[in-house]
Structure 1
Amino acid sequence: MTNTTPQTGGLQRRLGLPFAIAVCVGTVVGTGIMRAPGEIANLVPDPTIVMLLWLAGGIYVFLMCNVAAEISSMIPRSGGHYVPVREGLGDSMGLLVGWTFWIAFVAVNAAISLAAAEFLGTIVPWIAANVKVTALAIMLTITALNWVGVEEGRWIQIASTVLKVLLLLAVVGVALAMPPGDAASEVGKVVSVNAEPIGILTVLVGLQFIIAVYDGWYTTIYFAGEDKEPGRNIPRSLFQAAVIVTLIYLVVNWALIRALDFDALRVSTLPMAAVIEAAIGERGGVFVALLATLMALGTLNGCIMSTPRILYGLAEDGLFLKSALTVNRGGTPTIALAAGTLLAIPLIFSGSYVFVFRLMGALTLFGTCVYVLSYFALRYRFPELRRPFSARGHPVLPAFILLVNVALVAGYVIADPFSGLVMMGLIAICLPIGLHLGHQRRQVAAQ
């Protein structure tokens, strides 16, 4: 292993367990939970199966946390998925995974900024007429706050996460206080929707969708090199955040299914709005719009904080420009932060973030497979290395979650062959580049 101790460079160990939990929960619990319950119910028209799928998504996260807790606490460097992949499988795979997740984060930053602006636009007409300009202003504001330093980003993340969890629980309380089905009238005219027989493919597609809504569970690993006690805090934060998120998703969906007639839930694009409007009238729409905006902003802050850490990790290993290692007094990698924001700006105004986001779907799933595979490579290559947390159920549970991810990749590629071809093309590009850079580094080390 090229580096068995943390390579933090200019990054500062300022972060602790509260931030680690908040950044995972705050990144996962975003605008997806506002729309997903209705879309999943429409896709899988059986309330029992819907709840089981949300539970299965939580189990998936726990199995992934089992792997991530070992390898990210074992190599506590900032950089996320890239770090263990590069250590276990070499420069080529590390480069591919690093670039894939960086581009995906950039596209997500553009998409979330637009989502926040669109939700605000339902309240303020001027914003509705200037969504892209507002999205740019939102992204630049969050970037500027994080530019100041890690402390500012940390407190924004903790405060926004606590607030949106409390507001979500308030919505759940309102929904549970209603007579069953009482909010269905707010959806409009509801006709019984004929449900086709639920097949295995439908269930798998629903599970794919739900796993996407759980995405972001891993965000704390991007800050491993800045945690005060990474060996202790990374495993704890991953599992505690997984418990919180799974419980939130289960209770929100249960409350919505109870408050809305299931057919009404299936045709509702914003089921929470129907519940709140049934309770307090038209003002409920304003509340839900503000809640959705807060959801987006909390997720955006976590993503904007994570994005530069990938370039920082790549630069540490000579796979990106050394200027990405520039860190200001506040502990922020400023050049890497600016690079991600600058690339997101044209995506906001061109709308091409949708294309990039879809294209990255197969690649991020592939990157997740490689990430789990690096667990086995590190176990084989460095059995003597200290592991603050050892994955439970080795090798059965890690092998099982690897097979699950491979199946998800296969399903995605079958549904979207173009993304599969692009994935193979990027692998073909990264392999020779990674081999060349590794050869150069070995020559320099020998000299």
Structure 2
Amino acid sequence: MANTPKEELSNTIVIAETLTYTSNVLERMLKDVGKTHPDEERRVNEEATPRDPRFGPATKIELDVVNPKQHIGLFGAVTFGIGSMIGSGIFISPKASLAFAGSQGMSLVIWSLCGLIAFMMGLVYAELGTIIPRSGGDFVYIRKGFGPVPAFLAVWVIPLFVQTSSTAVLALVFADYLLPLVYGSCPPPNVLRKLIGALLIITIAISNIVSPKFGVFVQMISTVAKTLALIIIAITGIVFILKGRTENLTNAFDGSASEVTSYSLAIYSCAFAYSGYIRIGEIADEIINPQKNIPRALMISITLVTVIYVVVNTSYFVLLPKPEFLGSPAVAYDWALKCIPSVAIFVPISVMISVYGSNNGGCFGSARVMFAAARAELYPEAISFLHAKDSTPIISLVLFHIICIIMLIPGDIQQLINFLSFMRSFVTLLSSLSLLRLKWLSRKEPKKTGFRTNIIFPIVTSLIAVFLIVAPFINSPRIEFLYSAAFVFGGYFLYFPFVHFDWKLPGTDRITVFLQLLCNSCPTEKID
């Protein structure tokens, strides 16, 4: 049903007020970007200056190695987490979630459930991040709990398969929303689609290599922009509900799925939209006061994103009937065409900003997983080097983005999400079990300060991970899950010869020296 001029004017006023409020927030944020709280700055400076009793209270000592600098405060970590979560998932996953869940009501239940799962996993990762405040995320957590052999699964699966493929998908989504603005309803060349995706990845790589602070700055800008777009969708949906437009939500649970596999696939789709929260743990070395700021950033970002996702999906359902929803190639764009056609063009622009920010956050964190793995001698030594001036892991950043470009081979997005989510579930299970083991080993030790969570949460998240690994095989398992299992365990064919037995290919040392000179980088301290 088309809107009357009065209704469209009312919707425009709501959007204008939201824009005004967000612009004020952005202005304050831009003034504060790069600043550090005096107490935190003093603490960081004191920690960075080792004390030698022979030369007074604070004497600088020259070191042979360099380590990452702490430069990200609470606000930067929160925006980093929100920016990493709110990507293309909220614009891709709603359609798959509805298709697998079978009804609007059950789809909203799945979205809420995934928010709860992410919240519990946030608690698990918050404690792991405070126990082990090092960059590397799942890798350093699993290594602390079970040793290098299980930990290799994380560094094999996450940066090389999960995150590179996810980055490639997001880059292609960016191109899919950009090209219609030029080609209209005509299908664009597939080669151009890949080139635009590659250009986006290269742009993100340059921004993260030139300056890590610039990468955080980009994250803040994109977070505000895409959050604004979702707030507009959410507020407009609430306005329509208050006006009585609820006909699409009557009998909301009719047609709900009855198979366990369908629900696991629906959870995969929704969980894909939440997965960015783990990025905060991957940059722990660069967060100021990680003992306090990691759990705070996780809790704030996950709560805000869960509320936004549920309300945005409700807004979609209010305006789009189920058949139209399932047949839409771009749900958010079709929603805008029905709501306020005059500003519908801004939706693909908002999606592109969202995708850029999500990719920026994912690349920023995942390259540091490779960096941490190299420091533990699970990757080639050159990947553990830091830039001599900026202290950025330049070689790992370059390698990660090269793999992302290679992964730009097109494929079915839903199959790829299933593929990634299945592998991600293995790593989540190991991280949860790692926390349980660490809690058990330290049960008789004095209670330490810092964030601690109830033991029930890692137990529940471990059971959920087991369900997500087993459920897809119950009813007609798909081929992508078999490929996922093969890739997960195939990494050990590389681990034992090249890591455990320390085999080296001829010319490895020459390549290491060449990369060190080329990238003006320095060796870092190895981690146990």
Q: Give the shorter-chain TM-score range.
A: 0.7 to 0.9
What corresponds to 1:249 in structure 2?
A: 309
Query: Which residues in structure 2 correspond to 1:172-321 (within 5 Å)?
Result: 172-178=234-240, 179=243, 195=255, 198-281=258-341, 283-284=343-344, 286-321=345-380
Report the Cα distance in structure 2 between the residues aligned to 1:112 and 1:35, rounded to whole angstroms: 10
How many residues align structurally? Answer: 424
* 1:338 equivalent among 398, 401, 409: 398
Tell me if the contact between 2:319 and 2:335 (Cα under 8 Å) persists in the aligned partners.
yes
Query: Which residues in structure 2 correspond to 1:147-186 (within 5 Å)?
Result: 147-178=209-240, 179=243
Q: Per the alignment, do residues 310 and 428 of structure 1 end up closer, same or farther by CA in structure 2, a change over 3 Å counting?
A: same
The answer on 1:136 being equivalent to 2:201 is no
User: Secondary structure of the residue that 1:10 maps to in structure 2?
Assistant: coil
Equivalent residue letter for 2:76: F
User: Secondary structure of the residue that 1:318 maps to in structure 2?
Assistant: coil
Query: Which residues in structure 2 correspond to 1:344-355 (within 5 Å)?
Result: 344-348=404-408, 350-351=409-410
Q: Per the alignment, do residues 391 and 413 of structure 1 end up closer, same or farther by CA in structure 2, a change over 3 Å counting?
A: farther
What corresponds to 2:490 in structure 1?
A: 425
Report the Cα distance in structure 2 between the residues aligned to 1:417 and 1:88, rounded to whole angstroms: 28
Query: Which residues in structure 2 correspond to 1:31-180 (within 5 Å)?
Result: 31-103=88-160, 104-125=162-183, 128-129=188-189, 130-178=192-240, 179=243
**Mean CA deviation greater in 170-179 or 221-230:** 170-179
User: Secondary structure of the residue that 2:226 maps to in structure 1?
Assistant: helix
> 1:96-129: CA deviations, max 9, x gaps?
2112111121222222112111211111239943
Report the Cα distance in structure 1 between the residues aligned to 2:301 and 2:334, rounded to whole angstroms: 28
**Mean CA deviation greater in 81-90 or 322-331:** 322-331
Equivalent residue letter for 1:111: V
Tell me if the contact between 2:211 and 2:390 (Cα under 8 Å) persists in the aligned partners.
yes
User: Secondary structure of the residue that 1:216 maps to in structure 2?
Assistant: helix
**Mean CA deviation greater in 416-425 or 312-321:** 416-425
Report the Cα distance in structure 2 between the residues aligned to 1:353 and 1:258, rounded to whole angstroms: 28
Tell me if the contact between 1:25 and 1:161 (Cα under 8 Å) persists in the aligned partners.
yes
> 1:355-406: CA deviations, max 9, x gaps?
8775444322111111111112222344548754444321x22112101101
Report the Cα distance in structure 2 between the residues aligned to 1:101 and 1:304, rounded to whole angstroms: 12
Query: Which residues in structure 2 correspond to 1:20-31 (within 5 Å)?
Result: 20-31=77-88
User: Secondary structure of the residue that 1:123 maps to in structure 2?
Assistant: helix
Tell me if the contact between 1:73 and 1:387 (Cα under 8 Å) persists in the aligned partners.
no
**Mean CA deviation greater in 91-100 or 43-52:** 43-52
Give 1:340 deviation, angstroms. Answer: 0.6
What corresponds to 1:191 in structure 2?
A: none
User: Secondary structure of the residue that 2:276 maps to in structure 1?
Assistant: coil
Tell me if the contact between 2:156 and 2:491 (Cα under 8 Å) persists in the aligned partners.
no
Query: Which residues in structure 2 correspond to 1:426-441 (within 5 Å)?
Result: 426-427=491-492, 429-430=494-495, 435-436=500-501
Report the Cα distance in structure 1 between the residues aligned to 2:124 and 2:450, rounded to whole angstroms: 9
Report the Cα distance in structure 2 between the residues aligned to 1:49 and 1:352, rounded to whole angstroms: 28
> 1:194-253: CA deviations, max 9, x gaps?
947634443333223222221112110011011111000100111111101100111101
- TM-score normalized by the length of structure 1: 0.86
User: Secondary structure of the residue that 1:228 maps to in structure 2?
Assistant: coil
Tell me if the contact between 1:69 and 1:389 (Cα under 8 Å) persists in the aligned partners.
no
The answer on 1:393 being equivalent to 2:454 is yes
Equivalent residue letter for 2:355: A
What percentage of aligned pairs have identical amino acids? 22
> 1:288-342: CA deviations, max 9, x gaps?
2111111110111101111210111112212222222322323321011001111
Report the Cα distance in structure 2 between the residues aligned to 1:205 and 1:373, rounded to whole angstroms: 23
Equivalent residue letter for 1:84: Y
User: Secondary structure of the residue that 2:181 maps to in structure 1?
Assistant: coil
Tell me if the contact between 2:207 and 2:215 (Cα under 8 Å) persists in the aligned partners.
yes
Tell me if the contact between 2:377 and 2:499 (Cα under 8 Å) persists in the aligned partners.
no
Equivalent residue letter for 2:132: I
**Mean CA deviation greater in 133-142 or 231-240:** 133-142
Tell me if the contact between 2:93 and 2:272 (Cα under 8 Å) persists in the aligned partners.
no
Equivalent residue letter for 1:136: A
Give 1:141 deviation, angstroms. Answer: 1.0
Report the Cα distance in structure 2 between the residues aligned to 1:436 and 1:356, rounded to whole angstroms: 34
Equivalent residue letter for 1:58: G
Tell me if the contact between 2:367 and 2:397 (Cα under 8 Å) persists in the aligned partners.
yes
Across the aligned residues of Structure 1 and Structure 2, the Cα RMSD in angstroms comes to 3.1
Report the Cα distance in structure 2 between the residues aligned to 1:152 and 1:272, rounded to whole angstroms: 30
Task: State the structure with more CA Rg.
Answer: 2
> 1:244-291: CA deviations, max 9, x gaps?
11001111012222233344334333332222112332651x222111
User: Secondary structure of the residue that 1:87 maps to in structure 2?
Assistant: helix
